[in-house]
Amino acid sequence: MLQELKVSQFAIIDNLHIEFQNGFNVISGETGSGKSILLKSLGLLMGEKASADVIRTGATQAVVEGSFNLKKRPDIKLSLSSAGIDTEDNTLIVKRIIAGTDKSKVYLNGSLCTLSQLKEIVSPMIEVTGHNAPLIEMTGQHDNRHLLSKSYHLDLLDQYAGHFDKRLQYEEKFSALQSLKTQITDFETQAQQKSQRLDFLKFQQAELSKINIDPETDQHLEEEIKTLKNSHKVLKFIDDCENLLFNDEDSVTSRLKTVQKRGTEFLQLGPKFNERLANLQQAQELIEDTIFDLRKDLKEIQLDPEQLEAKEERLSQIRKLQKKYGADLNVIVASVEKINAEITALENSDEHLEKIKKQARLLELELKQQAEELHKNRLKYSEKLESAVNKELADLNMKGVSFSITVVKLEALTGTGLSEAEYMCQSSPKDPKRPISKVASGGELSRILLSLKKALGESERPRTYLFDEVDTGVSGNTAEKVGKKLKTIAKGQQVICVTHLPQVAACGDIHFSINKDSRKNGVHMMVTELKSESRVAEIARLISGEKITKTSLAHAEQLLSESLG
C-alpha cells in the first residue's frame, strides 16, 4: 500500500509531501486546482512514460517518490528479490527522476532499473489476483482500456470463480504442448536439411575413424620420426664410441688400464695419491657401463624405412585434421564423440519424432479435460458474477441497466482454455445486449466498474486502487451508496479517490484538499490533510459551492456523522 508520496518541481508542484493511510483516502479540490497533476505524478509510480515538459519552469529536473508497504505482498518481495533488490524492512521506495533527453532515471530501493521493470512490478497490464497482481490499479470514467479487452474479462471471471491455480497449471501444460508442437514442426520441415547433415557427419566420422587418434601415443609421433630419421647417425656414433673407448688397441680403456698399472708403483706415497688413482678406476667403470648401455640401445634401433614412411604419413593426416577440428588432440577426440552422438540422434530422429507426437497427443487430451472443467466453472460462475454485479447496480439506482457475461466455447485450445468471455450491457429490457465498452455511458461505466470491484470482494493480494472521479454522473442517495461501496472496497487494502461529491468525501477515513495558489514566482499547488472544522468546511463547499452557508455546514456535519455511524 502507498504510504508516502513526495513530488518536487513537477508541473505546478514545487514541493509536496502526502502521507496516505490504509483504508479510504479522499482527495477533493476546486476545478483546475491540480487534481489531474497529482494523479499524473501517481501514474509515474505505475511506470507511465514522462517527458521533460513536466519539469517545473526554471527547474532542471522533477522528482516523484513513493513509499509502499509490502508486508502483505510476498509476491512483490519475491519479484524484487529475484531482481537483486533488497526488501528486508517490507518497504519499496520507487523514485522517478525526470530530466532532459535521455537523462531520466528509475530507482527501486536505490537500485537503478528500467521503466519496464517498474511497470512489471508496480502495475502490470493484467490486474487480477493471479500471477501479475499490481501494487497500484487505476480505475476511472475514462480508464476503460481493460474493459475493451476480452482477456481481462476472462481474468476477472477466473478470479471470481477462484480457480486461478488450476488455470496457471493449465497454462504451464499448454506452454509445454506448444513447445512439443514446435519440435514436431522443426523435425518435419527440416527433413531435407537433416539428411544433408547426416551425410556430412558420416563423412566426418569416416575421416576421423580412419585415423583413430590416440592422444597418449600420437603426441610423441613427431619425436619418434626425428629419431628414425637420425637412426643411421646414431648407429655410427655408437659404433665409433665402442671402438674409441673399448675395442681399439689404443682405446681409452686400454690407456686407463696402463695408467692405473703404473700408478700402483706409487701406492706408498700416501692416501691422497691413492684417491687420485681410485678416480681413474671409477672413470674406467663408468666408461664400461656406458658402452654396455650403448650396445643395449643398438639392439633397439632399427633402420626401417617403411616404418618411417608410415609414421610420416600418419603425422601428415593428423596435421590435416588439426586444421579442421583444432590443434589439441583431445579436442579432436571430443569432436568424434559429439559427431557420433549427433549421428545417433539423427538416425533415430523418426523414432524420436513419433515419441514427441505421442507425448503431444497425450498432453493435448489432458489439456482438453482441464479446459472443459474450466469452461464449466466459467459458465457456472458467470451467472453468479452477473447476479452479484446486477445487485450492486440496483443498489446504485441504475434502473433498467442489466449486466451480463457471455461465455463462448471455442473450437480449439488456447492459452487460457476453451473459453472466451465478454462483458455485456443492456440499457433497458427492450434493448439488445451489447459489449459493455460500446453502450455504457461515462457514469454507467464508472458504476459498473465499481460494482465489479465490489462483487469481486477483498483481494488476496491487497493493493492501492486509484479512483479518478468514479462518482461522475451520480448524486443524492446514489452518491452516498457509491461512497459506502468505496469504503467497503478499502477494507483490507487502500483506496485513493478523487471526488467532487460531498457524500463520497464524507465516507473517507482521511481527507486531503488540493488548492492552487498564484504567487509572484508562479503557480503553486498545495495538499492539506483536513481535520475537524476544516473538513466540515470542505464538505460544505462541495455541497453549496464557494458560498458556504450555515445550512451547508450543518449538512456537512450530518454527512460526516452518518458515515462514522
More confident residue, 519 or 420: 420
The predicted model scores a pTM of: 0.65
d(CA 495, CA 20): 10
Query: 520 pLDDT band (50/70/90 cuts)?
Result: low
Q: Mean pLDDT across the stretch 499-514? A: 92
pLDDT surpassing 70 at residue 459:
no
| Residue 375 three-state SS | helix
187-220 residue pLDDT tens: 877 767 777 888 888 888 887 777 777 777 677 6
Q: What angle do CA 501, 11, 115 make, to 5 degrees?
A: 95
Q: Where are the domains of the chain?
A: 1-135+463-520, 194-347
> What is the pLDDT confidence band of residue 139, given thresholds at 50, 70 and 90?
low
Summarised one tens digit per residue, pLDDT across range 216-247 is 767 767 677 776 777 677 777 877 887 888 77
* Look-up of cell digits 507511465: 48
φ, ψ dihedrals at 408, nearest 5°: -110, 135
Reported as type and span, the H/E element at residue 526 is: strand 522-530
pLDDT-based confidence at 565, cuts 50/70/90?
low
Computed over every residue of the chain, the mean pLDDT equals 83
Q: Cα angle vertex 124, ends 165, 79, to 5°?
A: 70
Tell me how far apart the alpha carbons of residues 419 and 417 are, in angstroms, rounded to a whole number.
Answer: 6
- Decide which of 54 and 249 is more confident: 54
Please answer whether residues 123 and 46 qualify as being in contact, where contact means their C-beta atoms are separated by less than 8 angstroms.
yes
Is 35:56 a contact under the CB 8 Å cutoff?
no
**Euclidean distance between CA atoms 449 and 128, whole angstroms:** 14
Does the pLDDT value for residue 408 go beyond 90?
yes
**How many H helices and E strands in the chain?**
20, 15
pLDDT average, residue stretch 460-487: 80
Q: DSSP per residue over 182-196, as a string?
A: HHHHHHHHTHHHHHH
Mean per-residue pLDDT for 268-287?
80
Cα separations in angstroms, 378 against 154, 385, 453: 9, 10, 18
Highest mean pLDDT out of 78-92, 170-184, 273-287, 324-338: 170-184
Residue 128 predicted with pLDDT over 50: no
More confident residue, 324 or 37: 37
> Could you give the percent of the chain with pLDDT greater than 90?
28
What's phi and psi for 492, nearest 5 deg? 80, -5
Q: DSSP E strands: which ranges in 401-519?
A: 402-414, 417-426, 434-435, 464-468, 494-498, 510-519
Helix axes 305-325, 191-211, angle to 10 degrees: 150
Strands of the 464-468 sheet, one edge to the other: 136-140, 464-468, 494-498, 23-29, 510-519, 522-530
Q: What is the structure's pLDDT at 439?
A: 66
For residues 542 and 31, is the Cβ–Cβ distance under 8 A? Answer: no
Residue 245, pLDDT score: 80
String of DSSP letters for 5-65:
EEEEEETTEEEEEEE--SEEEEEEE-TTSSHHHHHHHHHHHTT----GGGBPTT-S-EEEE
- Residue 251 DSSP SS3: coil
The more confidently predicted of residues 491 and 298 is 491
pLDDT digits (tens, 9 = 90+) for 341-388: 888 877 777 788 888 999 999 999 999 999 999 999 999 999 999 999
pLDDT tens-place string over residues 531-552: 989 999 999 999 988 788 889 9
Quick check: 126 pLDDT over 50?
Answer: no
Burial class (CB in 10 A: 0-12, 13-18, 19+), 243: exposed
Q: Which pLDDT value is given to residue 145?
A: 55
At residue 37, the pLDDT reads: 84
Question: Is 60 exceeded by the pLDDT of residue 260?
Answer: yes
Secondary structure class of 303 (helix, strand, coil)? coil
pLDDT, one tens digit per residue, over 94-120 is 999 998 766 789 999 999 998 888 888
Domain 1-135+463-520 has CATH 3.40.50.300: yes
Query: Which amino acid does the sequence have at 278?
Result: A
pLDDT-derived band of residue 142, with 50, 70 and 90 as boundaries? very low
> Per the structure block, which three cell numbers stand in for 504?
463520497
Residues 6+ apart with CB under 8 A from 161: 377, 378, 380, 381
Q: What is the pLDDT of residue 399?
A: 77
The residue ranking higher by pLDDT, 291 or 69, is 69
> How many residues comprise the chain?
565
Residue 32: left if φ>0, alpha if ψ -120 to 50, beta else—which one?
A: left
